Amino acid sequence: MSKYKLIMLRHGEGAWNKENRFCSWVDQKLNSEGMEEARNCGKQLKALNFEFDLVFTSILNRSIHTAWLILEELGQEWVPVESSWRLNERHYGALIGLNREQMALNHGEEQVRLWRRSYNVTPPPIDESHPYYHEIYSDRRYKVCDVPVDQLPRSESLKDVLERLLPFWNERIAPEVLSGKTVLISAHGNSSRALLKHLEGISDEDIINITLPTGVPILLELDENLHAVGPHQFLGNQEAIQAAIKKVEDQGKVKKKRDALLVKTRGPFNGRNHRWIPPRKPTTNTGLALVDAMLCCGLRVFTLDCEGNLSHRFQEEYETSKIPSALIFEDSRACVSKPNWII
C-alpha cells in the first residue's frame, strides 16, 4: 500500500540536448524549449494540487533553473532548495561534448547504447587534455564538495552514479520523505534512472530499457520502507511523452549520411572559436590529430597525411558515395569538394 509520494524529473532541454551532444558535467543552461518544459511541468503539478516542502537538485544550472521555474509556476518560490553534486548527471568522461550520432557512426549504435544506457559499462575517462577538463575541475562549486576534487569521477557507469547518489538519498532525501514531507527532485537523465533502479528494484539487465524525456514529472508511490509500489508514472499527455521518449532513444542512432571533414593541421582545430589549439598528445608520424570540436557538429572526420593524401578509409567511403561531400581544412583556408552545403 502506498504511504508516500515522490516527484522527480529530468531537467528541461538544454542547448546540448538539442545538438545531441553528451553534456554531462558541463554547465549548460536551459534553452527556450527547456524553460517552457519546466513551466509546463509546474502547471501540471499545480493542476494536481502538489504542495512541496523541500526541493533537491544537482549543482548544475539546468537542474537548478528547472526547479526554480517549477516553483514559480506553483507560486511556491519560498520552498527551500538544496543542491548536491551527488545528483549530478552521469560523468561521460572523454565523450563529453561529442555528438551521439557521430559516435554511433564511429563506434556503432550498440556501443553507444551501452555507453548511454547500460548499468556496468564505463566510457573512456576524461584527461587533462580534454577541452572541457579544466572548465569542470577548476569550477569553484567542486571545491566545496564533500570529497576532494582529485577524488571526483573522471568517468562513470550507471552503477557508479548510483553508488555516489545513494549516500545523499539515504542521509538527506529519504529522512525527509519518511517524515511526511512532499519532496521534488529535479535531477538529470541518469541520476534519475539510477534512483528509479534503486527504488523500483529494476534489474541490471532491464535498466537499459528505461529512458526519461526532459521536463516530464514522474510520480513514484512508496511504501513504509521507501520501496516503489508499482512502476513510476509519467504525468502529462501520454502520447506526447512516448514520442519524447522515442526521440531520446534515437539520439544514439545514425539517422542519415553525413558530410565529412578532412583535416591537415599541426593539432586539433577548435571549432568553437576558430583557432588552433595544441595537440593533446605527441603527434604521430603523420603529425595529425582528429578534431573533436567538429565531431560535435555531427561531421565525419578524416585526416590527410603530411603530403595531403587522403586516408584509405575516406577514399573507400568517398568513392562509393557514402559521403556526399567533404570539407578540407588546411591552415585556416577551406576548399570544398562536391559541395552541397556551406559553413
- Residues annotated within the binding site for substrate are 10-17, 62, 89-92, 116-117, 189-190
First to last CA, the chain: 59
Q: Residue 11 catalytic?
A: yes
Which triple of cell numbers denotes residue 134? Answer: 579544466
Closest CA to 212 of 223, 202, 222: 202
Q: Amino acid identity, residue 11?
A: H
Q: Which helix (H) or strand (E) holds 16?
A: helix 15-18
Across the chain, which distance is largest between two alpha carbons, in Å? 72
User: Is the distance from CB of 192 to CB of 11 less than 8 angstroms?
Assistant: no
Q: What is the DSSP letter of 95?
A: G
Q: Which residues of 317-335 are buried (b: 16+ CB within 10 A; e: fewer)?
A: bbeeeebeebbbbeeeeee
Q: Which of 225, 233, 235 is nearest to 199 (CA)?
A: 225
Point out the catalytic residue in the list 37, 73, 89, 200. 89
Binding-site positions = 10-17, 62, 89-92, 116-117, 189-190
Cell (9 digits) for 34 = 527547456
- For 198, which DSSP code? H
Give the chain's radius of gyration (CA, Å): 22
Q: Distance between alpha carbon 129 and the CA centroid of its chain, in Å? A: 20
Q: Are 105 and 258 within 8 A, CB to CB? A: yes
- Does the active-site annotation cover 224? no
Number of other residues whose CB lies within 10 A of the CB of residue 185: 23
Cα–Cα nearest to 118, from 159, 173, 61, 73? 159
Query: Any idea how long the chain is?
Result: 343
Catalytic (active-site) positions: 11, 89
